[in-house]
Amino acid sequence: MRIPVIAGNWKLFKKTAQALQLVQDLAPLVKDVEDVEIIIAPSFTVLGPVRSLLFDSSISVAGQNCYWEEEGAFTGEISPGMLIDAGCSHVIIGHSERRQLFGETDENVNKKSKAAIRAGLTAIICIGETLQERESGETFTVLQRQISAALSNHSTSEMEQVILAYEPVWAIGTGKTARDDQAQEAHAFIRQLVAKLLTPTIADSLRILYGGSVKPDNIAGLMSQADIDGALVGGASLTAESFASIIRYGK
């Protein structure tokens, strides 16, 4: 059985006081949730304080990015080991904003995910097509390229530390959400592709999240789909009430 995952990506928001207040507000709202894995991804500067505040909580903490080397002359980067040192158990890799704004490539995503897994982190690997690619009928071609590259040379044991997040770029931060059936179609394709690239057993156990303007009023429909195992939430994770409502979608 695949345990649902609801992850909140705070992006470039929340300094220390704001971040701690959000966590203090959120934790009691979801303390009784036992059937959903909850993850938050604050900015690097507040990872330590946030994790310390969550020491007795089931909420996990993720980094928003990492480099593929553990140490060295790489000014401005952060290593998987540093994320673990700050209290992280997960890391987001290959988010569309990293790909579009910072030139991250499929090869980079593979190297980062391998390094993260090697260090002991669970890698939340993001994939998804742009609006132009969808309108040109290239959605599945893009997903196949991204997934094939991202999961290249990942062993069966390494795949136990992988979560995929399908984020259609045209739906991120735009207020547009893929229809439930559109999201399910993409998720089913992803699972079938992983079964071909690796094994059906790995595909069956792999958790695939949906991301792209997820809100309290659309999460239930998304989660009712057979191949959607959770959500990677952006803006709606920045207030405790809306994020808690998403986490408690079935209650």
Annotated catalytic residues are 95, 167
d(CA 107, CA 189): 22
Give 66's contacts (C-beta < 8 A, 6+ positions apart): 77, 78, 79, 80, 82, 83, 91, 93, 112, 115, 116, 121
Asked whether the beta carbons of 249 and 231 are under 8 A apart, the reply is: no
d(CA 124, CA 104): 15
d(CA 46, CA 232): 20
Residue with tokens 């909580």: 57
d(CA 228, CA 79): 30
CA atoms within 13 A on the CB side of 167: 29
What are the residues facing 38 on neighbouring strands? 6
CA dist 36 → 3, 4, 50, 223 (Å): 6, 5, 20, 12
